[in-house]
Each structure stands twice: as structure tokens, then as C-alpha cells.
Amino acid sequence: MSKCLSFKPSIDSNSKILILGSMPGVKSLNEKQYYAHPNNRFWKVMAYLCNYPNLDKESYDSKLNILLKNKIALWDTIKSCKRIGSLDSDIKKEIPNDILSLLKKYPNIKTICLNGGKSYSMFKKHFGELFQKYNCIHLPSTSPANAKFKLEDLNKQWSKILK
């Protein structure tokens, strides 16, 4: 089992939506980029939501900047954990990120989106009180492991964050 450490948040003072994953997978950790696995549909869903059709073909820094221009921030629920491979079900001994401090520092965040079941369960476990203060939305994972959702279905479900 190897120790995994999440990235710093991609956020600015204009951000209104915070998307929280669980913990980046092996490919993302190796590339030091959120959602780097070529089969993860996150960037395709963001392309749809941001009305930016070729977003997934942009450089990583451009992708993050386009999300920020659309008032969307990224981070993870988990700061560190032990895990073999990339599956959320294999996460052990998790330590949460300091989401409370982040939200105090960025008061324009109104909506918190939880990308998948593990992000949702960890958020509920460590930050359950925030469900009363924020618009928290549990969304289907964009991971390739979530094969039951087609891209069109993900786009439809994730469109909730814009309302």
C-alpha cells in the first residue's frame, strides 16, 4: 500500500462552485494533474458545462483557468490516504483536507459538488454540518470505473451544478 497525497486546490476569489473529488488516481498523481486518466470523463463533462467543446484538448493550466473563469474550483475531500491502485474502494486511513478553512477563505463558494460516492461519504463523515450551510450536490463519478453512466447521462446529471 502506498501513501497518496492530494493536490493544492485550484480556486480563486471569484469561485462559486467547489468540485470535490475523493483522491486522485495513480495516473493523476504521477502527472500531478486532476483527472489525468484519458478515460476519465471529467474534462468532457466540464467542456459541456462550460460550453467549451475542446476543453479536454487544452493544456492542463488552460483547463484550470477555463474552470476558474466559469467560477468553478477543484479540490479533493481527502488530503492523504493509503491505497493500492486507483480505486476509491481501496482507500484506507484517510485524512480529510481542511475544507472548513478553505470555505472561510473563499466565502463566495455557495455550491459544493461531490464527484462520486467516496467523495460524498468522506464529506458527509468529516463535514456533515456543511450540508445545512451550502448547496451540496452528490454527483455520479466521472471515473472510468463508473461505466454504467454514459457521457450524455453524466452531462445531464452534472448540469444540476449550474442551477
Report the catalytic residues: 40
Instruction: With CA atoms as reference, report the closest residue to 58 among 73, 71, 76, 46.
Output: 46
Number of Cβ within a 10 Å radius of residue 21: 28
C-alpha cell at 107: 466565502
> Cα angle at 45 between 44 and 48, to 5 degrees?
90
- Strand pairing class (2-5; 78-83): antiparallel
CB 145 within 8 A of CB 87: yes
